[in-house]
Chain A
Amino acid sequence: MPLDAFDRELIAATQGGLPLVPRPYEAVGAMLGVPGERVRERLAQMLEQGLVRRIGAVPNHYRLGFTANGMSVWDVADEQVDTLGERIGALAGVSHCYRRPRHLPAWPYNLFAMLHGRSRAEVEAQAREVETLLGSACRGHDILYSTAILKKTGLRI
């Protein structure tokens, strides 16, 4: 379902955040020249369709004490990666889990799992859980820690 003109305006008006006023949807409606109710109805539909994931706070995990953020990457046998990916995604501490292409020979990893902890020791303990789960299907792994957020604005259309 492609975006219509109203959707595009609604996304453009709210992707940077909602106005922090008692009636935020009314305020967005005022910007777009529609009643607040129209904004609320469309956002409710978008939530239902999955076009809006959630409405709320996007934390800066560093500032909340989660200073160790590791992108763990794994070289997993192709025939097992989908089954094992599902199980790894379900582990506590894993926030995102994807199968992605390898770039051989430099990049042999095809499974990505983001791990968040208050220390690298916590992240490494989580990585050991992943390693145990993968067992002999895993031929190697690495953890790429982030050391700076260079940009975090989210979607902009």
Chain B
Amino acid sequence: MLTPEDLRLIDRLHGGLPLSDRPFAELAAELGCSEYTLIERVHGWLTAGVLTRFGPLFQIERAGGRFVLAAIAVPEERFDAVAAIVNARPEVAHNYRREHALNMWFVVAAESPAAADAALACIEAETGLPVLAFPKEREFFVELRLPLVDAAAALETEEADDAA
């Protein structure tokens, strides 16, 4: 169970890891803990699956690459087999099951538009199912930042209510 303090720390670690020789030491000094403690906590959260990754997030489109959102309507009885085929492709950066007739939604990240199209064509051929591509035509806002500080405050309120 994560504590409000954990949520605040994860929020602080969202971005901005210093580009200094000892970035964890620098952050630890700011947070009032030790470098070792900070590294151990990040390690623990990765092991527990609270974090999926810790490091640089590349926006490959700035170097000619391409991200394409795509969806497949997968027959329920084939769902796991199709997921295995889709997930096996290294170009597939993430894949989610969603409640809809189009029940599998994934993102292909490739070094060029042609490579992205080729990956989608391969998935279509290997699964035998139509792949609908939803390339972005315009980006209005991208900042996957969960309101963790608000969540920490809410958690504290709930705890106070429980105690009352």
Contact = CB atoms under 8 A, between A and B. Distances in A.
A96 B145 CA distance: 10
Interface string A143-157: 011111111111111
Contacts of B15: 53-56
Interface in B1-38: 2, 7, 10, 13-17, 19-25, 35
A99 B69 CA distance: 12
Contact of A55 (B16, B91, B94, B145): B16
A33 interface: no
Contacts, number: 249
Contact of B52 (A49, A59, A106, A144): A59
Nearest to A1: B63
Given A100-B69, A100-B135, A154-B53, A88 B60 contact: no
Interface in A80-127: 82, 85-86, 88-90, 92-101, 103, 106-107, 112, 114, 116, 118
A147 B76 CA distance: 14
A58 B14 CA distance: 7
Contact of A95 (B50, B139, B143, B154): B143
Interface residues of A, number: 79
Contacts of B134: 100-101, 103, 112
A85 B138 contact: yes
A127 to B, nearest CB: 15
B127 interface: no
A157 B60 contact: yes
Contact of A64 (B43, B50, B55, B57): B50
A21 B39 contact: yes
A118 to B, nearest CB: 7
A147 B97 CA distance: 6
Given A55-B17, A95-B141, A146-B96, 7 more contacts: A15-B58, A64-B7, A64-B148, A100-B137, A101-B137, A154-B52, A154-B94
Interface of B: 2, 7, 10, 13-17, 19-25, 35, 39, 42-43, 45-46, 48-60, 62-64, 69, 83, 86-87, 90-102, 104-106, 109, 111, 132, 134-148, 151, 154-155
